[in-house]
Amino acid sequence: MKMLWVTVLFVGLTVISFAPTVTARTPQTPVGYVLEIEGEWYLNGNTSEPLRRWQKLPSGGTVRIKALTPGARIVVAGLSGEIIGNRDCDSNDGCSQPIKLPKGHMQRSLLRVALDATVDLLWGSPDRYALARVRNYGARFRKALSGWRVEG
């Protein structure tokens, strides 16, 4: 039992010591990407970097067109494939409204995931990590095997 606590303490201190470096490097969570694009579209008013196809888009951002041009259009899809926004400048008033990207869901940090898993393993739900197999094959199976002999 003492060895288990030493191991848990060691793993916990290791995770805690590396957690600040891991969480500091995580960028803003993307909520979607540019599926189709024609024309000059920008994210959050940053006109120095136009959007391009397959570019990931951060949560809470706003997609706008620089200038209304014929044939300009954009389709923004979520990470699971659903269409978040679709603008077509050929239709009346199609490009006047920006596409507001949804707020991303809160991601748990690596430390939180490790801590939750450790607590669940030690005190929470041990059946989640248990290997449950039934090795009882029944009387019929034993009876069928009783007539066999192994010769060597």
**Is residue 75 a contact partner of residue 83, using CB atoms and an 8 Å limit?**
yes
Q: Which of 39, 64, 71, 66 is nearest to 52 (CA)?
A: 39
Residue bearing the bigger pLDDT, 72 or 122? 72
pLDDT value, residue 124: 62
pLDDT at position 77: 94
Residues 73-114: tens digit of each pLDDT:
999 999 888 999 999 988 766 788 899 999 876 566 777 777
Given a contact cutoff of 8 angstroms between Cβ atoms, the answer to whether 63 and 85 are in contact is yes
* Helices and strands, counts by H and E, the chain: 3, 7
Average pLDDT, the chain: 77
* Beta strand spans in 45-152 (E): 56-58, 62-65, 73-78, 83-88, 99-100
Q: Which long-range contacts (CB under 8 A, 24 or more apart) does 96-99 make?
A: 98/62, 98/63, 98/64, 99/62, 99/63, 99/64, 99/74
Q: Which of 51, 59, 152, 57 is nearest to 104 (CA)?
A: 59
CA atoms within 13 A on the CB side of 25: 6
The pLDDT tens digits of the residues spanning 30-52 come to 899 999 999 999 999 888 899 99
What residue ranges do the domains of the chain occupy? 2-25+107-131, 30-100
Residue 117 has what pLDDT?
Answer: 75
Residues 41, 51: Cα–Cα separation, whole Å: 6
Query: What pLDDT is stored for residue 118 in this prediction?
Result: 76
